[in-house]
Structure 1
Amino acid sequence: MQPGTEATPFAELTPEVILGAIEHLGYQTSGRFLALNSYENRVYQIGIEDDEPLVAKFYRAGRWPDEAIFEEHSFAAELAARDIPVIAPLADVNGDTLFRYQGQRFAVYPRRGGRRPELEDEQTLRWLGRFLGRLHAVGRAGRFQYRPRLSVERYGDDALERLLASTLLPVELRTNFELAARQLIEAVREVITRVGPQTEIRLHGDFHPGNILWTPRGPHVVDLDDTQSGPAVQDLWLLLWGERSDMAAQLRILLEEYGLFCDFDPIEIQLIEALRALRMLHHCAWVAERWDDPAFPLAFSWFATPRFWESQLIEFREQLNAVLGPVLVLDT
């Protein structure tokens, strides 16, 4: 068996290693496991004899140092201790939550079911507003030391450099693509400068509907792998969709409930389109950087086509107009 590389870190994550890692912790597996939807890491539902299945997350080598993963786990445990329904990793008898087996780092979680939330439902939005208000109230109470900051340098400048280094970017589009991306990044930087320094809190960091498991009793939230420090609005805008009037109404509902638990500075609303632009750049760079991982060409086959890069260029230009355009105004 060839050892895994930074590009293919899961080459040695065989069924024997997956099950062996769980049994190494003292569990008796049933021999059955199911791959769950994850690209950055590898996540599996593991059958346990005479008990409920567990979920195991195997971390991508080289992405986070151990200290950053410890902070992820600690934040999840802190939230869970406040009865905030975040699915935290299970600890062993020594209190450890990050384990090693056959060169792989992994954590184990209880399995929780659920479906995607229906964001068109007002009561769902109100529930999520309360959830984020509670999460951010805890997030304000501490600071990360090893987790990253959400910054234009990391999500904009660094992302563009990774994109320009990718052989997937067609040569004939490179000049116009780089120009559009740099104009977008500069516009984002101008907005952030105009808004001024904002309070940075501990965030979920990737609070899109796919990371929310909805049940009749409310949400369970998963995947703190991107937890970071940044403005509160980063966790809010990912729940907005539709036309500007729709997003304004949704944000008003979210903030009505959010404000019951945590203060929100309305000037952060001016950051929404700038943050959307940074997410676009970061996501594009993420796929390009991970292209040698076999899971990525399978999941994002369109990424290697000239048509994708042409459409991305157009989207950058359209997003530039959104960043420079009028700020979202909440309806009353």
Structure 2
Amino acid sequence: MHDASFLSLNPDLILSSVESIGYIPTGRCVALNSVENRVFDIEIEGGERIIVKFYRPNRWTKLQIQEEHDFLYELKEADIPVLAPILDRQGNSLHESQGLTFAIWPLRTGRIIEELSESDLPQLGRLIGRLHLVGKSKKTKYRSFLTVPDYAEKALDLILAGGWISNAHLTDRYKKAAYFAFDRFETVLKTKQIPFHRIHGDCHKGNLIRSEEGFSILDFDDFLEGPVVQDFWMLLPFGERRSESERELFFEGYREFSEFSLGWLDLIEPLRAIRYVYYASWIAKRWEDPSFQNLFPHFGTDEYWSKETMDLESMAKGFQRESEEESPIAKTSEKEEELSNKDFFWDWEN
């Protein structure tokens, strides 16, 4: 269920919320491109600009949001270039206005990353390696875990329970292919003994900006505890020419700060499949929000689910081939050539 005040946020509520914690806005209020939350660029007295972020109701609890903020403060303390929310005079980063939870952030300017050059990769590897080094220092208390029961099955159950796939035969195929991916994920975790710790969770190029100081990583809204590979596969070239040598440049930088085994890359394909299911459930859960209906007009159609099912089945066939190969990730397979990172983001062009 979506809070009506969140869906109908207006300038009066936005500006009064900012005023309630001591800021004096000039009246300039610009909505920024954000689907999950509502984010605004606000000018305050003196010409300074701040960012106010209203969190989507019923997604995270306040304790879970606070844990995200605390992680950001840890990263900032370690001189890792992230954006952490601004504390008020009482030392609070979370605020409430008419039942909505919000936070104030500094404005960070820079260029969105379109493509990564070879010279970028070691620098980016060091950045993610440092992030993961801090992530290993303690466990989460309130955030979710990237496990089959806590992450993948919950997403699949939401789709099935909601009756989003109207064709019963297609439903069975979709469920079977999804569980094939889930089983593969758990098998790789067990056989490779892959550790879990705090990670970004949604680390793709859209969440990177470049300034004169170098890379900064943004948007820890999906922060959780999981395998480090989740923060690699959306950034690095897999299934593209020269991908192996480019990945090694990244890992040269990464290993300066964090350990990594190439065998962990066997998680990539099941993680891709899990992301298909997770994103479909993400859209379904927010379908009452008109912005989602406008952004994903084909969601829920037979054509949509048919394509999703065939893609999952294609990956399932790949898992079967992988089980027969000695080192499936070290080689470029036919399946890898067919799929690229762009296939796993509805908003990749934005």
2:301 to 305, 322, 326: 305
Structure 2 residue 187 is the aligned partner of structure 1 residue 190: yes
* Alpha-carbon distance in structure 2 between the residues aligned to 1:304 and 1:234: 27
Q: Secondary structure at the match of 1:303?
A: coil
2:319 to 320, 323, 331: 323
Q: Is the 8 A contact 2:72 2:82 kept in 1?
A: yes
Aligned to 2:71: 75
Q: Is the 8 A contact 1:244 1:328 kept in 2?
A: no
After TM superposition, the structure 1 stretch with the greater mean CA deviation from structure 2, 184-193 or 312-321, is: 184-193
Deviation at 1:13, TM superposition (A): 2.4
Q: Is the 8 A contact 1:59 1:104 kept in 2?
A: yes
* Alpha-carbon distance in structure 1 between the residues aligned to 2:331 and 2:125: 15
* Alpha-carbon distance in structure 2 between the residues aligned to 1:110 and 1:203: 22
Q: Is the 8 A contact 1:156 1:278 kept in 2?
A: yes
**Deviating 4+ runs (over 4 angstroms):** none
Q: What is the number of equivalent residue pairs in this alignment?
A: 326
Q: Is the 8 A contact 1:191 1:274 kept in 2?
A: no
After TM superposition, the structure 1 stretch with the greater mean CA deviation from structure 2, 158-167 or 128-137, is: 158-167
* Structure 1 pair 55–13 and aligned structure 2 pair: CA distance change class (3 A): same
Aligned to 1:147: 143
Equivalent positions of 1:114-129 (< 5 A) are 114-129=110-125
Q: Report Cα offsets for 1:51-76 as digits up to 9, x if no partner.
A: 32111111111111111111100110
TM-score (norm 2): 0.87
* Alpha-carbon distance in structure 2 between the residues aligned to 1:262 and 1:278: 25
Q: Is the 8 A contact 1:118 1:124 kept in 2?
A: no
Deviation at 1:181, TM superposition (A): 2.3
After TM superposition, the structure 1 stretch with the greater mean CA deviation from structure 2, 237-246 or 29-38, is: 237-246
Q: Report Cα offsets for 1:236-259 as digits up to 9, x if no partner.
A: 111123525543233211110011
Structure 2 residue 252 is the aligned partner of structure 1 residue 256: yes
* Structure 1 pair 302–174 and aligned structure 2 pair: CA distance change class (3 A): same
Equivalent positions of 1:100-115 (< 5 A) are 100-115=96-111
Write the letter of the residue equivalent to 2:203.
Answer: F
* Alpha-carbon distance in structure 2 between the residues aligned to 1:225 and 1:55: 15
Structure 2: unaligned runs, 5 residues or longer: 333-350
Equivalent positions of 1:28-177 (< 5 A) are 28-171=24-167, 173-177=170-174
Q: Is the 8 A contact 1:150 1:229 kept in 2?
A: yes
Deviation at 1:315, TM superposition (A): 0.8
* Alpha-carbon distance in structure 1 between the residues aligned to 2:123 and 2:262: 20
After TM superposition, the structure 1 stretch with the greater mean CA deviation from structure 2, 20-29 or 259-268, is: 259-268
Aligned to 2:289: 293
2:7 to 11, 29, 36: 11
RMSD, matched Cα: 2.0
* Alpha-carbon distance in structure 2 between the residues aligned to 1:295 and 1:232: 32
Q: Is the 8 A contact 2:144 2:151 kept in 1?
A: no
* Alpha-carbon distance in structure 2 between the residues aligned to 1:26 and 1:328: 53
After TM superposition, the structure 1 stretch with the greater mean CA deviation from structure 2, 244-253 or 46-55, is: 244-253
Aligned to 2:345: none
Structure 2 residue 264 is the aligned partner of structure 1 residue 268: yes
Write the letter of the residue equivalent to 2:224.
Answer: Q
Q: Is the 8 A contact 2:7 2:289 kept in 1?
A: no
Deviation at 1:165, TM superposition (A): 2.2
Q: Report Cα offsets for 1:38-96 as digits up to 9, x if no partner.
A: 22211111122323211111111111111111110011011111111000000001110
Q: Secondary structure at the match of 2:6?
A: coil
Q: Secondary structure at the match of 2:26?
A: strand
Deviation at 1:118, TM superposition (A): 4.1
Q: Secondary structure at the match of 1:323?
A: helix
TM-score (norm 1): 0.91
Write the letter of the residue equivalent to 1:134.
Answer: R
Q: Is the 8 A contact 1:85 1:219 kept in 2?
A: yes
Q: Is the 8 A contact 1:252 1:330 kept in 2?
A: no
* Alpha-carbon distance in structure 2 between the residues aligned to 1:311 and 1:241: 23
* Alpha-carbon distance in structure 1 between the residues aligned to 2:330 and 2:5: 45
Write the letter of the residue equivalent to 1:46.
Answer: I
Write the letter of the residue equivalent to 2:85.
Answer: P
Structure 1: unaligned runs, 5 residues or longer: none
* Structure 1 pair 302–171 and aligned structure 2 pair: CA distance change class (3 A): same
